[in-house]
Amino acid sequence: ISVNCGGLPEGLLESLLFGHEKGAFTGALRRTRGYFEEAEGGTLFLDEVGETPPALQVKLLRVLQERTFQRVGGSEEIPVDDRLIAATNKALEECVENGSFRQDLYYRLNVITISLPALRDRREDIPLLSKYFVDKYAKAFERGSRELTPDAINHLCNSDWPGNVRQLENSIERAVALSERNQITAEELSEDVLDHPKDWVTELLSLPIKEARQEFERRYLVENLRRNDGNVTLAAADAGLPRQNYHRKMKQLGIPSARRLSPEIASET
């Protein structure tokens, strides 16, 4: 079971996660089980957990600590036996520092961390992901067999994908829905794919200042590593940062190990 913590009002998110009792609020006509109950014995995936409102962060922390919770409007303690997986595109360590995310909740969630690089840093995945999405939406839209031409794949691989996999999926979905032939050409891709602006400064100016700063820092560190052949010690010195801080910043921004940045980089010291 999955839920996006950033796309829902606080009250609705609370009810979805924990359920509610009859009469707990206007419109609550019956008792309803929440996702923590529905996922009993399974997995609950909290997407964009960094967007969770402060009051709900407290309730999430209690669930993780006590392994019980109460429905909205209820007093019964309900045991929890779920595996919890959380994801975010935010640098949660910075959120802890600025007070927007609880430190105790961060450490409760941060048991095993998997950093997923941005799609533009793992372009080798784009052809496989594209084929998967083409097959998925060809079946969903009953469009028969569909495939991307080599030119279309080339355009997809050369795009920057600021929206990562979700943007890729949306672009493929649109192309499959509008295509009238078995082969989807580059011309049938959306304009944001065909244009893929080279002027990334213009791209940054279109972002909120916090996101723009994070994206600038990410690109700066990646380029700095490439200039120093993947040597983190040299890159950190070049950037004027202690090596430990440089590594921490790489982790915060989702930058993969130096070996994975490009085939030319062969060492990380």
Q: What is the pLDDT of residues 182-191, one digit of tens each?
A: 999 888 886 6
Look up the pTM and report it: 0.59
Q: Which two tokens stand for residue 103?
A: 């430190």
Q: Give me the number of domains the chain comprises.
A: 3
- CATH number where 10 lies: 3.40.50.300
Return the pLDDT at 56.
Answer: 94
Q: Which two tokens stand for residue 235?
A: 């890159």
Question: 85, 109, 133 — which closes off a domain?
Answer: 109
Half-sphere exposure of 143 (CA within 13 A, CB side): 22
pLDDT by residue, tens only, the chain of 269 residues: 999 998 788 999 999 999 999 988 888 889 999 999 999 999 999 999 999 999 999 999 999 999 999 999 999 999 999 899 999 888 888 899 999 999 999 999 998 888 888 888 888 999 999 999 999 999 998 888 899 999 889 888 888 887 889 889 988 998 898 888 899 988 888 665 655 444 556 666 767 888 888 888 887 887 777 777 678 888 888 888 888 888 888 888 877 654 444 433 333 33
Q: Are 55 and 37 in contact (CB under 8 A)?
A: no
218 in the same domain as 186: no
Residue 204: inside a domain: yes
Question: 171, 195, 219 — which closes off a domain?
Answer: 195
DSSP 3-state of 72 = strand
Sign of the Cα torsion 200, 246, 5, 11 reads negative
97 in the same domain as 21: yes
157 in the same domain as 240: no
User: Which among 82, 105, 88 is positioned nearest to 46, based on CA atoms?
Assistant: 88
Instruction: Return d(Cα 11, Cα 249) in angstroms, integer.
Output: 34
How many H-runs (helices) and E-runs (strands) does the chain carry?
13, 7
Q: Are 125 and 157 in contact (CB under 8 A)?
A: no
- CATH number where 205 lies: 1.10.10.60
Q: What is the pLDDT of residues 52-106, one digit of tens each?
A: 999 999 999 999 999 999 999 999 999 999 899 999 888 888 899 999 999 999 9
Sequence-ordered list of residues with C-beta below 8 angstroms from that of 252, at least 6 positions apart, any chain: 91, 93, 94
Residue 254: inside a domain: yes
206 in the same domain as 189: no
Return the pLDDT at 264.
Answer: 34
Residue 267: inside a domain: no
Quote the domain boundaries for residue 165. Answer: 119-195
Return the pLDDT at 13.
Answer: 93
Half-sphere exposure of 74 (CA within 13 A, CB side): 21
Question: 109, 142, 172 — which closes off a domain?
Answer: 109
- CATH number where 158 lies: 1.10.8.60
Residue 268: inside a domain: no
Residue 266: inside a domain: no
